[in-house]
């Protein structure tokens, strides 16, 4: 009985702490959301009070003044294409690493694993992109993002593919399939849960990033949503209601994507980590 009471007390403390942490995260988001509908003077109290008058016109002004439609399309293009490119390249690399169980494949896997630790060298990357003649283009950002997220993706794919029996490959080889056919027709349909996880994680990572656009997208017409927020704040730093509206529009796509695909993120991470 005493042990049960201690357990209940500990559970109550943990739940209370989690509630406090949740409020610490939710409160700033609510201040931003409510502030986006307030006037420029009313928003300065930074409170959780409801607006006296809901200013939906703030969003119209932000879209027109901030050029968000163009930035939104750029973000969708860069995030979507880099996610697809990352899935294709890293899943194929993980397949070779797992099925070619040699010292070289293990060394390549360690090379990818080091990418989880090693930071990105901006100066070196700029020189390489300039040498390729892609500096300042959206293509350069797509390739960089696909490469930056390759280590995490390979780590997930290899963990999952190790749980797939080699007998499936052998049966396909007996029926005349080659290595490419085995990967496309046998392995790829089985890794759809991990594909969904990688796509969502890479998309959210690319969408929220501001570092690469600052250094590699020199033309403002190629800027993404987070960078447009940075530029918008420089013009309207005194109008916090407009800044909050801009931030809300920027974070909304990722928030909706995460809420809709949360189960795929959890299941894919579990499959890639535990099964490996």
Do 30 and 117 sit in the same domain of this protein? no
Do 99 and 31 sit in the same domain of this protein? no
Q: Which of 18-27, 135-144, 217-226 has the highest mean pLDDT?
A: 135-144
Q: Is residue 244 part of a domain?
A: yes
DSSP assignment of 171-191, as one string? Answer: HHHHTT--HHHIIIIIIHHHT
Q: Evaluate whether 66 touches 246 at the Cβ level (below 8 Å).
A: yes
**Predicted local distance difference test score (pLDDT) of residue 141:** 92
Helix-, strand-, coil-residue percentages of the chain, each rounded to 5: 80, 0, 20
Q: Evaluate whether 176 touches 116 at the Cβ level (below 8 Å).
A: no
Burial (CB < 10 A; 0-12, 13-18, 19+), residue 240, is buried
Q: Which residue has the tokens 């959210």?
A: 204
Do 91 and 27 sit in the same domain of this protein? no
Do 30 and 69 sit in the same domain of this protein? no
Q: Is residue 261 part of a domain?
A: yes
15-64 pLDDT tens trace: 888 888 888 888 888 888 888 888 888 888 888 888 888 888 888 888 88
Half-sphere exposure of 260 (CA within 13 A, CB side): 9
Do 9 and 129 sit in the same domain of this protein? no
Do 24 and 80 sit in the same domain of this protein? no
Do 124 and 244 sit in the same domain of this protein? yes
Do 269 and 203 sit in the same domain of this protein? yes
**Predicted local distance difference test score (pLDDT) of residue 275:** 46
253-271 pLDDT tens trace: 888 877 777 666 666 555 5
Do 268 and 178 sit in the same domain of this protein? yes
Half-sphere exposure of 11 (CA within 13 A, CB side): 6
Which of 142-156, 237-251, 253-267 shows the lowest mean pLDDT across its residues?
253-267
User: What is the number of domains present in the chain?
Assistant: 2
Q: Is residue 44 part of a domain?
A: no
**What percentage of the chain reaches a pLDDT higher than 90?**
13
Q: Is residue 56 part of a domain?
A: no
Helix (H, G, I), strand (E, B) or coil at 103: helix
- CA angle (140 as vertex; 135, 145 as ends), nearest 5: 140
Do 159 and 23 sit in the same domain of this protein? no
Confidence band of 3 (pLDDT split at 50, 70, 90): low
**Predicted local distance difference test score (pLDDT) of residue 274:** 46
Domain housing 167: 65-274
Q: Is residue 43 part of a domain?
A: no
> What's the CA gap between 230 and 249, in Å, rounded?
13
Do 25 and 105 sit in the same domain of this protein? no
Q: Is residue 53 part of a domain?
A: no
Q: Is residue 188 part of a domain?
A: yes
Do 21 and 116 sit in the same domain of this protein? no
Q: Is residue 55 part of a domain?
A: no
Q: What is the pTM of this model?
A: 0.81
> What's the CA gap between 94 and 159, in Å, rounded?
9
Across the chain, what does the average pLDDT equal? 83
């Amino acid at each position: 009985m005493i042990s049960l009471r201690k357990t209940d007390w500990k559970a109550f403390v943990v739940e209370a702490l989690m509630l406090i942490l949740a409020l610490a995260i939710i409160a700033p988001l609510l201040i931003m959301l409510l502030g986006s509908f307030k006037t420029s003077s009313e928003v300065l109290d930074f409170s959780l009070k409801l607006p006296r008058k809901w200013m939906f016109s703030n969003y119209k002004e932000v879209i027109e003044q901030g050029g968000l439609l163009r930035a939104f399309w750029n973000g969708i293009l860069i995030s979507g294409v880099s996610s697809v490119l990352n899935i294709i390249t890293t899943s194929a690399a993980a397949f070779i690493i797992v099925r070619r169980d040699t010292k070289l494949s293990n060394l390549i896997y360690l090379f990818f694993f080091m990418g989880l630790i090693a930071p990105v060298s901006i100066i070196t990357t700029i020189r390489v992109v300039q040498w390729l003649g892609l500096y300042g283009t959206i293509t350069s950002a797509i390739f960089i993002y696909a490469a930056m997220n390759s280590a995490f993706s390979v780590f997930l794919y290899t963990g999952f593919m190790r749980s797939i029996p080699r007998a499936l490959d052998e049966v396909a080889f007996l029926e005349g399939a080659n290595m490419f056919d085995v990967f496309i027709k046998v392995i790829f349909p089985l890794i759809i849960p991990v594909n969904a996880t990688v796509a969502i994680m890479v998309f959210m990572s690319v969408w929220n990033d501001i570092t690469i656009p600052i250094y590699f997208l020199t033309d403002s017409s190629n800027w993404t949503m987070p960078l447009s927020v940075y530029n918008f704040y420089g013009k309207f730093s005194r109008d916090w209601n407009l800044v909050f509206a801009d931030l809300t529009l920027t974070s909304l796509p990722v928030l909706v994507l995460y809420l809709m695909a949360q189960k795929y993120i959890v299941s894919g991470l579990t499959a890639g980590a535990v099964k490996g």
